[in-house]
Every structure is written in C-alpha cells, then in structure tokens.
Structure 1
Amino acid sequence: MIAKTSIGRSFKGCCAYNMQKVEMGQGQVLLSQGVRDYELRAMVADFTRQAKMNPELTRSVWHTAISFDPQDEARLQLKPELMNQVASEYLKGMGLDQSQYVVIQHQDTAHSHFHIIANRVASNGQSISDSHNYNRSEKLLREIEQKHSLTLMKEQGYRLSLEHLPERDRHRLEMRNEVRQSLERSTTSAELKADLAQRGIEVIVNRDQAGKARGLSFERVSQTDNGEEIKVAFKGSKLHQSLSLCHIQEQLLENGHKRALELSQQRELAKAQELTISLQNEEKRLKKGRGLSM
C-alpha cells in the first residue's frame, strides 16, 4: 500500500473534493466518527466546531490517501470488509481514532484507494501529533500489510524491476514470490491452498498412475501486456527447487511445529498470569479479613 499525507488549514476544500465523488456515484463513505457524513456543509461545520476547541493549532486538517496494490484487487472484491479493517487499523495506529474522521472510498480509478479526513484536534481538545508522520505511517502500513497478507511495498518495487523481462519469465518470478509468501505463513496443505486461492493461484497435485502424489503445479489466470487473459502454469520445482513437493511438505511440517510451540508458550504465559492474579486476590482477601478481625 502507498499512503500520501498532507496537513492543512481548511476542512472545506478537502471535504468538498471527497464528498463530490460520493454525490457523483464515484465514491462511498466507509467509516465516520463525530461528523455528519451525509452532507458537505454539516460535515465541515462539525469539523470546524471541534477545531475551535484548540485555536492554537492552526493546521488541524489531516488528509491521507491510501492506495492498494493492483495484485490485491481480487481479495478486495472477495472480501470488501478488508478495506474497512485496514482503514480502522490505520486510524488507530496513527492516533486518529481519538478524534473526528471520515473515510471515503473512491471508485473512479482502476486501483482501489480511500481517503481519510481527520481532525487533529482530538475530542478532548488536545492536539494529535503529526511529528514524523511519514515514518510512522510507513511502519504502520508494513505491519498492516503483513497482518492481512497484502502485497508488501518492497514486492511492488520488485515487480517494477521485472518489467524489462519477457512475459513468461516475469510471470514465473512473480508466482514464485507469492508461493514463497504463502508457504511462510501456512502450516498445512489446506492453509497453503486457501492462501494462494485468495491470490488467484490454484494448487494442482500431480499424481502417477497409481495415484501417488509426485509433484505440485501452480496455475493462475493472468494478463498479457496486451490485456489478454492467459493461463500461466508452472511446476513447483521449476519455480524453485525449494518449492518441490517434498520441500514444501517439510516446510509445512516445520511451520506447524513452530506454531504449536508458540501456542504452548502463550498458554503457559496465560496460566502464569492467571496464577498471579489469583494470588493477588487471595492476598487482598486475607488482608481484608485481618482488618475486620481488628
């Protein structure tokens, strides 16, 4: 994802641009808090009224536009609530959830994106810091990308570096990258298949005449440089030797052991916390009992 943030003085212009998209049927309000999101004049009045709680903060308009990578379009179509989740987590991560805001999705471009308009004057009258907002925003976006398995920014740059390659070689390297990502976060073959399916990649098990699995292939419908749809398919071992059937099975088993260990450690930590709380409660009860006996 890519985010562009600007800090300004006037809510009117920023709100007008985004609400115009809604009125023209080229956008929709996804989320809002503390403002009337159905009418431009009322929205501006609500923002302005709260901004006056902190007149020393002259640049109270926070505007961020967040764009998704084209490779995430299929997931956004299958799971439309994903955009709301990303917006909510970004608002919370930047501290904007403590104030008024409106999130508006634009639908006038090929790539999905939304705009956040927020008040830097929080609901308690305090200022929401814009210090180092670029670095904080970039760090937060990378965390959100990983959490929701969205295309990482470094991979977007990686794809751009492949543009000079022949189409089939580019498709091969892109698919290898995506299969590796899915394999890193999967512990079973079912998880791997489901994760890749969200990216439009189908896992095919190649079997011999006796029905025994001998290898894997990965297929997807892609587009040529001319915009024509084609089916792209590669054997796992042709993507990379680490993506052959036996290596994938070994990696899934290792991932499963790691996850089981993490869950065990979490359960032990929870038990320790419960025991600590229980002992503290017992100590309080005993102290209270001694006080009554006096």
Structure 2
Amino acid sequence: MVAKVISGKSIQGALNYNENKVEEGKASCMLAHKFGGEACDLSFSNKLIRFQKLIGRNPKVKTNALHISLNFDVTEKLEVRKLKAIAQTYMERIGFGEQPYLVYQHTDAAHPHIHIVSTLIRSNGKRIDIHNLGRNQSEKARKEIETEFNLVQAESKSKKKPELQPIEASKAIYGKSETKRTISNTVRWITQRYKYTSLPELNAALRQFNVIANRGSEETQMFKKKGLHYSLLDEDGNKVGIPIKASAIYGKPTLVWLEKQFKLNEALRQPYKDSLKKSIDRILKTPSPPERAGVRRDEAFKKSLAANNIFALFRQNEAGIIYGITFVDNTNKVVFNGSDLGKDYSAKAILERINASSPTGSGGETTSGSDSQNEFEASDSLGIGEVIADLTEAKQFDYSLPDALKRKRKKKKRKGFSQ
C-alpha cells in the first residue's frame, strides 16, 4: 500500500475533485465518518457545510484541508467493506479518528485506490499539526495495515523496478480526458527512461503498452509541419479512441523534442549493446522445447526473450514478409534495431539462427526479406497500470487549481507492424 498525503487551502476544491469523479461515474462516496448520516444520503452541501463549520472555528488557519489517497497493488481484489476498514484504521492511527472525513473509492486507474477528504481543524478550533505526518504517523500506519490486512507490501515491490502493465484500451476510450491521462502516463514513463534513437524504436517500446506515436502520412499537413499524435492500440494493434497531440501532453514530447533525444541516446545506449547481444546469443543457443502444433519458431523465440525481459518486434509488410526486427531491453531500458547490433542480429540472420537451432533444422512458416535500417512506425493505444510514487512527507497543495491530481506522459509511432 502507498499513502499520499496532501494538505491544502481549499476544502471545497478537494471535495469538488472527488464529487466530480462521482458525477463522471469514476468514483463513489462509500463512507461518511462523523457526518450524522449515511454517505448515500448526503448532498454536496451537507458535506461542505459540515467541514466549513469546523473551519470557521479558526478562520486564521489558511491551510485547513487534508486530501489523502491510499493506493494498492494492481493485483489486489479489495471489497468495499475491507476498504472501509482500511480507511478507518488508517485515519485513526494518523490522529484523525475523531475528525469528520469522507472516503471515496475511485475506479479511474488500473490499481485499486481510495481518496479521503478531511479538515485539520478540530471541534475546539485547534489545528492538527501535520508536520512530518507522511514520514512518521502515515508511514507507521501504512506498514501496520499492510500486515494486518494482508496487503502487498510497498517496500517489497519497490525493490523491483516498477513496471507498467499493458493498457486495456476498452477502459480508456470512453472520454478524451481519460485517454489523454492514460497516454500521458505511459508516454512520459517510456520517453524519460528508455534510450531510443528513432521514432520506430520508440514505438517498439511503446507498443508493449498498447500506445503508439503517429506522424500521419507524408502527404498530410501534420507530417509536413512535424506534428505528432499519440494513440491507443487494441489487441490487434489497431488505433482506438481519440488521438492526443504531443503538444497537449505534459512535458510536450513533440517530434522536435524527440529528435534531440535521438541524438543523445545514440551514445547513452552503447554501454548496453554487448549485454543485449549476449542475451540474444544465449537464448538462441538454449535448446528449444519440443515444438507444438501451430506454434511458429519466431513466436517461441519472442517468448524466450520475454522471459528474459526482452521484447522483440518483427516488422513485416502487408504481404507478411518479415523485413526487420527491433529489440527492447526492458532491464537496461535500451532499444536497438537488429541490424544496429550487427549483421548476425538482422531479421534474416535471426530467423536463420532460429531454424538452425531447431532439432530438425527445418523452419516454420516464417518468411523474411532483407533487414532494413528503416524501422516501422507503430500505432497507439492505452490503458495503464499506473506507477505510483510514495510521498513520505505531507505536502501543501491548492485544490482550487484544476486537474489537481493528474499527471501525464508521452509516446511513439509505427508503420506496417504485425506480430
């Protein structure tokens, strides 16, 4: 479990954020603690007035609102009753058990999470001191709750590098804002961590998470003006939902920005080149398991690579002829076109080595052409297993600002790809 604690100057802003989610069908108010009624029976005014009465007892205090999110591992299946118990236990242990608070269950991300809204002003008008609340009381409560409720421990997960999960497009295409948020998160994660030297290479990394960067056809104004869109992909690699302009994403991962990264990454990825080649060689030398009917050797090779945290993307034309391959090393976060690794790693050479390593020496129905230096451009899709940052200190935030808790990310592109 990860706890995020934020203090603010607008209780109405914090309340608006969650109530708007309820209106959008992306959240529900499941608990109203010390409100004198059930959550389902309270109006927005009932909730706001309850908080305002306490805040009015000490109008000199400007930072008077508390907004907390408790985030759980994507594998957790938590019932409402258990979420309520977790929220109540947490608030009691951080010293807010006697305060009125509202608990909202949000469904706008891949991982389960709840939001809690409360005020720092007690019934006697005194302000609750939250200095180092995140570092001290919250951290202690978090660890205790993980044990008592048998939750996935945040520390054990953090020892591994956080990984995104492939996006389920059907969960992200219902509205432009949700699609944008999901694409932004994915794009920012990939573009800031991976070393890629071309748009096709970036798309190979993005393709793992059902997102793609697209420049449009060469005849379009978007292409001529170096425009760039990011899109979601469905299971078949088709674009779905509303494409998002690169300039509309936080950090602005536009083509101009990416081209600067291409030059920088050329040198930055070199230290990992030999390591990737050795991994590929080792996998090719490993005896393959007995072949099963309908399983192509190139697909079996890709599965073996995936078991070693390497993603391989065979590029093929409309006729089904394989003409290139791109490798994404997810351990070292680098991307290489096969031919850039050396002639023994081109698509043609890899397929020949795959066939040569089989017991019979005969290949499957895979066909290859020459390995092209030019990579494909992918299409885009999104749905994200969001990576959550654990804030160890309470931070101030003005909830009157729009889109207070949203974060974003960036993307890539591909052409003529088929797996």
Q: Structure 1 residues 162 and 96, CA, compared in 2 at 3 Å: closer, same or farther?
A: closer
State the one-letter code of the partner of 1:46.
R
Indicate the residue corresponding to 1:68 in structure 2.
Answer: 72
Alpha carbons 1:100, 1:122 under 8 Å: kept: no
* Correspondence list, 1:201-216, <5 A: none
Q: Structure 1 residues 167 and 72, CA, compared in 2 at 3 Å: closer, same or farther?
A: farther
Secondary structure of 1:98 counterpart: coil
Determine the C-alpha separation between the residues in 2 that align with 1:169 and 1:56: 59
Count of aligned residue pairs for this structure pair: 167
Indicate the residue corresponding to 1:121 in structure 2.
Answer: 121
Determine the C-alpha separation between the residues in 2 that align with 1:161 and 1:64: 22
Residue 52 of structure 1 is aligned with which of 56, 60, 85? 56
Indicate the residue corresponding to 2:47 in structure 1.
Answer: 43
Determine the C-alpha separation between the residues in 1 that align with 2:82 and 2:155: 21
State the one-letter code of the partner of 1:23.
E
Deviation at 1:162, TM superposition (A): 8.7
* Correspondence list, 1:20-169, <5 A: 20-35=20-35, 37=39, 38-73=42-77, 76=78, 79-135=79-135, 136-160=137-161, 168=307
State the one-letter code of the partner of 1:102.
L
Indicate the residue corresponding to 1:4 in structure 2.
Answer: 4
Alpha carbons 1:100, 1:123 under 8 Å: kept: no
Gap runs ≥5 in structure 1: 171-226, 228-294
Indicate the residue corresponding to 2:19 in structure 1.
Answer: 19
State the one-letter code of the partner of 1:103.
V
Secondary structure of 2:103 counterpart: strand
Residues 92-147 of structure 1: CA deviation (Å, up to 9, x unaligned) = 01111211110111112111111110111123333222021111212210111011
Secondary structure of 1:91 counterpart: helix
Q: Structure 1 residues 142 and 40, CA, compared in 2 at 3 Å: closer, same or farther?
A: same
Determine the C-alpha separation between the residues in 2 that align with 1:6 and 1:87: 16
Deviation at 1:167, TM superposition (A): 5.3
Q: Structure 1 residues 57 and 137, CA, compared in 2 at 3 Å: closer, same or farther?
A: same
| Root-mean-square deviation over aligned CA pairs | 2.6
TM-score (norm 1): 0.51
Determine the C-alpha separation between the residues in 2 that align with 1:161 and 1:47: 38
Secondary structure of 1:96 counterpart: coil
Q: Structure 1 residues 7 and 31, CA, compared in 2 at 3 Å: closer, same or farther?
A: same
Alpha carbons 1:22, 1:29 under 8 Å: kept: yes
Indicate the residue corresponding to 1:205 in structure 2.
Answer: none
Residues 184-203 of structure 1: CA deviation (Å, up to 9, x unaligned) = xxxxxxxxxxxxxxxxxxxx
Determine which structure has the larger helix proportion and give its number: 1
Flag the structure with more relative contact order, 1 or 2, with Cα contacts below 8 A and sequence separation at least 6.
Answer: 2
Deviation at 1:158, TM superposition (A): 2.6
Determine the C-alpha separation between the residues in 1 that align with 2:2 and 2:64: 23
State the one-letter code of the partner of 2:11.
F
Q: Structure 1 residues 126 and 71, CA, compared in 2 at 3 Å: closer, same or farther?
A: same
Secondary structure of 2:59 counterpart: coil
Deviation at 1:71, TM superposition (A): 2.4
Determine the C-alpha separation between the residues in 2 that align with 1:88 and 1:56: 29
Determine the C-alpha separation between the residues in 1 that align with 2:111 and 2:100: 27
Residues 220-268 of structure 1: CA deviation (Å, up to 9, x unaligned) = xxxxxxx9xxxxxxxxxxxxxxxxxxxxxxxxxxxxxxxxxxxxxxxxx
State the one-letter code of the partner of 1:158.
K
Q: Percent identity?
A: 27
State the one-letter code of the partner of 1:109.
A
Secondary structure of 2:3 counterpart: strand
Determine the C-alpha separation between the residues in 2 that align with 1:40 and 1:49: 14
Determine the C-alpha separation between the residues in 1 that align with 2:58 and 2:106: 31
Determine the C-alpha separation between the residues in 1 that align with 2:28 and 2:151: 22
Deviation at 1:57, TM superposition (A): 2.3
Alpha carbons 1:98, 1:123 under 8 Å: kept: no
Determine the C-alpha separation between the residues in 2 that align with 1:16 and 1:144: 28
